[in-house]
């Protein structure tokens, strides 16, 4: 039965309206309105769903890893509520401001501490910084193969079969574990937790690791462990210049739009 690890990141809800995301250019920081709720990154949810489907068929154990500071327990515990077995938080002030390198490095260190794993799942990219590097980075640090953009994952004895998205189709690949897999939206949404799961998750406590617990110095994590620095954060100015074509009703507006498009020589 496979030992699976799923990396999940807490992010501000990416589906929130763009107007709620502002930049403080003096501090070079995102300022996110308090109505934007934290959630598990959408791609990380697909990754968790991939692991749950395997557990549903073959059994096995799912360990969820999350790195950050002040991780909201009610948000991350959703992973336990839907069926993960164990939750490990790399949670400390020192982990703040990690870049892709520092994140992958700390997650890889935690995975080594967990020890036994067959498949590591990550989302194809985070839903805040969108870089899409951490999964591949973990695989490089651990020295295992990475298969990206999975839309279907099947586990059988000694072999993992993955359908991965390629331009205009997909390819099926076969790899022996251990393997790191990044998952994309085509895999399908994360299931809803059952009431029983929510109750059980409420009682379970996550394991919390500080940098020293995974054998890292504070100089190797967070801002101090970065390999790339943010020099400027900004929001390009957009002029609102949309010309609204009117009409008594939809049909008339449609006709007027056609006339305007011709007049402006756009068609």
Partner 1 sequence: MAENKGILVYGELTEGKLAAITTELLGCGRKLAGELNEELSCLLVSDSIGEAGKEAIAFGADKVYTAEDPSLKQYQVESYLQVIDRLVKDTAPRIVLFGQTAAGRDLAPHIAFKAETCLSTDCLDLSIDPETKLLLQTRPVYGGNAQATFVSELLPQIATIRSKAMSPLEQDDSRPGEVIPTKVEIDTSAIKVKVVETVKEEISGIKLEDAPAIVCGGRGIGSAEPFNTSLKELAELLHGAVGASRPPADNGWVSEAMHIGLTGKIVAPDIYFAVAISGASQHIAGCSGAKHIIAINKDPEANIFKEAELGVVGKYEEVIPALTGKLKELLSS
- Map the footprint of partner 1 across residues 29-68, applying CB under 8 A: 30
Q: Judged by CB under 8 A, does residue 244 bind partner 1?
A: yes
Q: Closest CB to partner 1 among 18 and 59?
A: 18
Residues 170-209 that bind partner 1 (CB under 8 A): 170-176, 179, 184-186, 189
Termini Cα distance of the chain: 60
Residues 112-131 that bind partner 1 (CB under 8 A): 124-125, 127-131
Residues in the chain: 267
| Residue of 3, 10, 63, 100 that binds partner 1 (CB under 8 A) | 100
169-175 and 159-166: which strand pairing?
A: antiparallel
By CB under 8 A, the count of residues binding partner 1 is: 84
- The answer to whether the CB of 183 falls within 8 A of the CB of 7 is no
Q: Closest CB to partner 1 among 199 and 259?
A: 259
Q: Closest CB to partner 1 among 62 and 147?
A: 147
Q: Closest CB to partner 1 among 73 and 172?
A: 172
Distance CA 118, CA 111 (A): 11
Q: Judged by CB under 8 A, does residue 147 bind partner 1?
A: yes
| Residue of 37, 73, 112, 260 that binds partner 1 (CB under 8 A) | 260
Taking every pair of Cα atoms in the chain, the longest distance, rounded to a whole number of angstroms, is 69
Report in angstroms how near the CB of residue 206 gets to partner 1 at its nearest. Answer: 27
Nearest to 78 by CA among 204, 182, 187: 204
Structure token digits, residue 37 = 């709720």
Q: What element of type H or E holds 100? A: helix 100-114
| Residue of 59, 115, 158, 236 that binds partner 1 (CB under 8 A) | 236
Report in angstroms how near the CB of residue 76 gets to partner 1 at its nearest. Answer: 20
Q: For residue 169, with 0-12 CB atoms within 10 Å meaning exposed, 13-18 middle and 19 or more buried, which class applies? A: exposed
CA distances from 71 to 87, 133, 167, 232 (A): 12, 22, 36, 26
Q: Judged by CB under 8 A, does residue 243 bind partner 1?
A: yes
Q: Judged by CB under 8 A, does residue 93 bind partner 1?
A: no
């Amino acid at each position: 039965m496979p030992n699976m690890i799923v990396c999940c990141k807490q992010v501000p809800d990416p589906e929130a309206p763009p107007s709620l995301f502002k930049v403080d250019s003096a501090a070079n920081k995102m300022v996110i309105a308090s109505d934007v709720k934290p959630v598990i990154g959408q791609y990380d949810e697909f990754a968790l769903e991939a692991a749950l489907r395997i557990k549903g068929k073959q059994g096995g154990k799912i360990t969820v890893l999350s790195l950050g500071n002040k991780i909201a327990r009610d948000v991350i515990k959703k992973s336990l509520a839907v069926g993960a077995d164990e939750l490990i938080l790399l949670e400390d002030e020192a982990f703040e401001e990690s870049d892709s390198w520092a994140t992958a490095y700390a997650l890889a260190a935690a995975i080594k501490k967990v020890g036994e794993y067959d498949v590591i799942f990550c989302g194809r990219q985070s839903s805040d910084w969108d870089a899409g590097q951490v999964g591949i980075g973990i695989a490089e640090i651990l020295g295992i193969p990475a298969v990206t953009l999975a839309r279907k994952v099947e586990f059988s004895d000694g072999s993992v079969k993955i359908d991965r998205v390629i331009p205009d189709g997909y390819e099926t690949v076969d790899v022996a574990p251990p393997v790191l897999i990044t998952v994309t939206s085509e895999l399908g949404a994360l299931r809803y937790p059952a009431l029983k799961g929510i109750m059980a998750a409420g009682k379970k406590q996550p394991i919390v690791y500080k940098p020293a617990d995974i054998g890292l110095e504070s100089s190797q994590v967070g801002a101090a462990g970065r390999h790339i620095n943010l020099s400027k954060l900004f929001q390009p100015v957009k002029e609102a210049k949309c010309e609204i074509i009117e009409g008594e009703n939809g049909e008339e507006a449609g006709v007027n739009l056609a006339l305007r498009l011709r007049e402006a020589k756009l068609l």
